[in-house]
Amino acid sequence: MRASWVKQDLIPTSSTLNLEVKDLLIEIAGIVLVIIIVALIFGYYNRITVSSNRVDNAWSQIDVQLKKRADLVPNLVETVKGYMKHEQNAIEMVTKARERMLGVSDVKERMEAGNALAGALKTIFALAENYPALRASENFKLLQEQLDGIESKIAYARQFYNDSVLAYNNAVSTIPGRWFAGMMGRTQQRPYLEIPEAERAPVKVTF
């Protein structure tokens, strides 16, 4: 009789089994939850980091073209000043705009200075219409073609930059990305690059 009691004690009851199953399910759920949280952290960390890097890369592409344009200005000034002796104000405006652009490093300020330089160049090209000998200059034609190509690249790069900024700003301003961005210290949104309506047209190549 005593042996049967011992044997019955060794047999787990249904309630004991249910408790064990519940404990196991809780442990599994906890592990799954941890995995999901870790995956979200790494996923949003990578998303925000990649988006930020894409914005930086897009700006570097614009900056390259801005520098190329600035490098052409001295040659343009040397070419036109021999013909446009009565347009010293316009020539000086181009020179000063170039100096200002090279003297700033902030993204927004540098782009604004670049837009001012583009506007000053347009003035030079408009005034060149009054100087047939200048328009016939092969060096002047080449500089115009180069500047026109640069303006097209800047416009394309600006659009890519703004698209990248949109993706980054969405990542750090929407939930749950906003929470992870706060942990990363990247809650500040990136600025878009906008140009005044009067400066939207690229530098024209006209002869």
pLDDT, average across residues 16-36: 80
Region at 204 (left for phi over 0; alpha for psi -120 to 50; beta for the rest)? beta
pLDDT in tens, 45-77: 888 899 999 999 999 999 999 999 999 999 999
Say yes or no to pLDDT of 162 above 90. Answer: yes
Give me the residue spans of the domains in the chain. 13-199
Q: How far apart are CA 59 and CA 106, in angstroms?
A: 11
Buried b (16+ CB within 10 A) or exposed e, 18-51: eeeeeeeeeeeeeeeeeeeeeeeeeebeebbeeb
Say yes or no to pLDDT of 195 above 90. Answer: no
pLDDT of residue 196: 53
Average model confidence (pLDDT) for the chain?
Answer: 83
pLDDT, average across residues 77-88: 86
Contacts for 198 with CB less than 8 Å, ≥ 6 apart = 119
Q: How far apart are CA 144 and CA 142, in angstroms?
A: 5
- Domain 13-199 - what CATH class? mainly alpha
Indicate the pTM of the whole model: 0.73
Asked whether the bond before 176 is cis by omega within 30 degrees of 0, the reply is yes
More confident residue, 19 or 153: 153
